[in-house]
A and B are shown apart, each in its own frame.
Chain A
Amino acid sequence: NAGVTQTPKFQVLKTGQSMTLQCAQDMNHEYMSWYRQDPGMGLRLIHYSVGAGITDQGEVPNGYNVSRSTTEDFPLRLLSAAPSQTSVYFCATIGKREQYFGPGTRLTVT
């Protein structure tokens, strides 16, 4: 089992570009989440999903879109990248009690 996978591992974007961060899981978990991690600020919830076809906003949703067409995949779309979106992005699934995190995507917006 791969658990939670994320692609790409690293990405550099120019201001205004758009892109999609991919997240996939093979644990058949209903709940999935996207977080961003900035230095000294912990993990902040961007969007989450409680099942296929259902998504909701987290703490910092502006500038990001998500969709959940299947249980396995939960992509995060940056509509028009801004330098403030430079961060490390983690996707996570939620099991019976704990969250399982992917390895992260390091995004730099210049």
Chain B
Amino acid sequence: GQQVMQIPQYQHVQEGEDFTTYCNSSTTLSNIQWYKQRPGGHPVFLIQLVKSGEVKKQKRLTFQFGEAKKNSSLHITATQTTDVGTYFCASSYSNAGKSTFGDGTTLTVKP
């Protein structure tokens, strides 16, 4: 089945610095989703990308889907302490009930 690899596993930044996490697959993905999980919480959906080369923005967050639909990235500009948590990418199979999640990138922000 589809597998998605996510890097880095951990990222520590000073408040105000930028942050990027990357998601890579050896196969073409039908879509990519991004989730955020706060410490002790549950994953919460951020966005879905489906088109080759797609770029979407949500305030300080920028999401990209690669031209070959094999990679994606999430970039946060000027991190804030509210950005702490683990960010996961995920991709669903043609059968929508089955999804594969990356192992996540855990972001800590030092004030």
Instruction: Judge whether A33 and B103 touch: CB under 8 Å.
Output: no
Most chain B beta-carbon contacts within 10 A, residue among A50, A99, A102, A104: A99
Instruction: Judge whether B103 and A98 touch: CB under 8 Å.
Output: no
Known: A99-B43, A103-B42. Contact between A50 and B97, CB under 8 A?
yes
The tally of CB-CB contacts under 8 A between chains A and B is 61
Q: How many residues of A contact B (CB 8 A)?
A: 26
List of A residues within 8 angstroms of B99 by Cβ: 33, 45, 94, 99
What is the 8 Å Cβ interface bit string for chain B, positions 70-111, against chain A (1 contact, 0 not)? 000000000000000000101010011111111110000000
List of A residues within 8 angstroms of B92 by Cβ: 94
Complex CA–CA separation, A31 to B97 (angstroms): 6
Instruction: Judge whether B33 and A43 touch: CB under 8 Å.
Output: no
List of A residues within 8 angstroms of B6 by Cβ: 42
